[in-house]
Structure 1
């Protein structure tokens, strides 16, 4: 980025990050180039960053060295902070007069519990701002050559979480309705329970040889994509996480649209 470009950004009419406020910011799927300009602005103005495990080190590196960093990541099967404790911490930090950046992977309102945190801040009288981010289940999949909609295959898509707050398959999800809702299903946080989910979808009418693509470490140099089917997904082992799962006919476009793998080869292998 040139000095002129930086100077232009510095003059942009960004909103003030006021002391005593909390910004809930989506950091996108991983690559720092997928940050919004408003997220970039927040990183440079925050006093403290409370960040999820899914926020990439490359994104965190954009924050000034003096900024306090607090890890608040929740990963399945590992000791993690309780959501209530994270929310209380945000309120406490704001009441200390600090500019609090709550940094989340993807988008705060796409299975990111941003709505819960924002509601708690509102109840506590804490000023807050929501800064949307690129979700791995939307723009992030473009890095694997997977358009979530295409007029030749689907005019609808459904987004579903693969586990509930207890870590189990969501009991509140009507899987037969999901199976019928759209040709393309995008699953978040579903790797652990994917064989069970696949069986429920097949039982509800999806065909066993339907394409399934699992994209791990989306938009990062370690990105990989695994291709399988609903009927054989249970044979996969040691699938890297975080990962996003796409079920449906858009998998066919990877043959011609998988551009990022070539870029990774150029950077890694020269």
Structure 2
């Protein structure tokens, strides 16, 4: 009897979490998959089964819009991931040095992660305001001006900048934890062989940070491909759809006035598949890279 109780005890402990996960994650996902194969338009009492018609429409009739959104998503994710992780490593190395006030620097750099997306979006919208924003006031000192987020060529780079500013502190904290997990004895032994400065960073720090780098890259890619709330506040996908990422495209389709929730559900499934494929490819590559370095 005691043995049976002990075998069930772990399952009973995680049961509430499993129930919450099913109710708020699995059940909605299954519902999205179901409605993606219907002509559901918001009226739960009147819809019919259409099979893969919504997916076919997405890949034929609306193919250009879908490919444009995927292309912008990949561009956004690539530059955000690269810049965020390069800066994250650099900042982690700096705040790991024996300098006065380093804990204050760490807190300041991590602070954007504590702020809500709405606050961040509104603050940067005011900063980039083309009429009274401080950025244009600075540009006016050099005799120039810009419509900032209203410029289709500048909008995406500015959104990437805001996303990096928001998330780089979190990446820094993960890299900092990895740096503090590296024994100083390794650096001391390497210094005896002349490996100091850049050589020490390249041949010791970076290889030992590979697991953290892999985790950070995956988190950055997933977060970048999923983002829509920050873009919605900053640009709402504009101007001229220059910031219409796949997540934003799905979000706007859901609330389309034509009542195309079934089609939007199909786009949501495509969005999930795109993220899953990219994550599997990147994870496979990072695992093989770690095996070569180990």
Structure with the greater relative contact order (CA < 8 A, sep ≥ 6): 1 or 2? 2
| Structure with greater proportional strand content | 1
- The answer, yes or no, to whether TM exceeds 0.5 is no
> TM-score if structure 1 supplies the norm length?
0.25
- Give 1 or 2 for the bigger CA radius of gyration: 2
| Structure with greater proportional helix content | 2
